[in-house]
Amino acid sequence: MDLISSLFTIFAAFVLPIVAAVWLALKKKRYLRPVLFGALTFIVFQVLTRIPLLQLVIAPMPWYILMSISSPLLAGLFLSLTAALFEEVGRYIVMRLFLKNNRRYMDSVAFGIGHGGTEAILLVGLNALIGLIMSYGLSADPWMTVAAGVERLSAMVLHVALSVMVLQSINKRNVLYLILAIFLHTLTNLAAVMMQANGTPVFLIEAVLFGFALIMLIFVIKLKNRTEVDTE
């Protein structure tokens, strides 16, 4: 069971994102650009900007320490909102400035796969792969390992949906779609934090998040025709 759970998580958080990105790039060369810029968006706005800012600047501040101790809900909201702001505004900026010729529906899907796939690989996939190679991963709770893989699948679906929303905001010149993406991203993160804080079983949390991600995906699929713009 340990080996199976590790292989599942490696597939979900490492192999699948790479295969999806390569498949898109081979299907049409135009999709390579949004995949790469989606990946760069996560690296620049999260790994190189938000996370260091939180850990090195904000975390040591007295007000943040007090908030974390006295109001976990407020602290969770703060972390969830900052994640949504950095990622969705970052998505908007990159799409607007660097993907002027990639404004079709599948371009936003490719962007979401690049963004969510990079997050999955860096946060879970690499650790799972190294853990399996070094054998120490086999001693971990197999169900928690599976849960990590399911979480990354949900997150990738979510990033695809949010990317479609942000592109819709650009194509329709309607900031409400961007605001909606920020709100839904915040809500998803906050729900996960609060359920975990209240002792909700891990698999129930993952089931709720996966269901929410699928609902969002169904919604944005219906936006497909409205998202298309003429880039010929």
Asked whether the CA dihedral 129, 130, 134, 139 is positive or negative, the reply is negative
Residue 14 parent element (H or E): none
Model confidence pTM above 0.95: no
Tell whether 13 is covered by a domain: yes
Residue that the structure tokens 């904000």 belong to? 58
Q: Report which of 60, 203, 73 is spatially closest to residue 145, judged by C-alpha positions.
A: 203
Distance in angstroms (rounded) separating the CA atoms of residues 66 and 77? 15
- Is 147 part of any domain? yes
Tokens 């996966």, residue located: 210
Residue 232: inside a domain = no
pLDDT in tens, 113-170: 999 999 999 999 998 888 878 765 455 677 888 999 999 999 999 999 999 999 999 9
Total domains, the chain? 1
Task: Write out residues in the chain with pLDDT < 70, as ranges.
Answer: 1, 135-140, 225-232
Q: 């400035």: which residue's tokens?
A: 97
Its domain, for residue 73, covers 2-227
Reading the block at residue 97, the tokens are: 């400035």
| pLDDT at position 224 | 78
User: Would 189 be classed as within a structural domain?
Assistant: yes
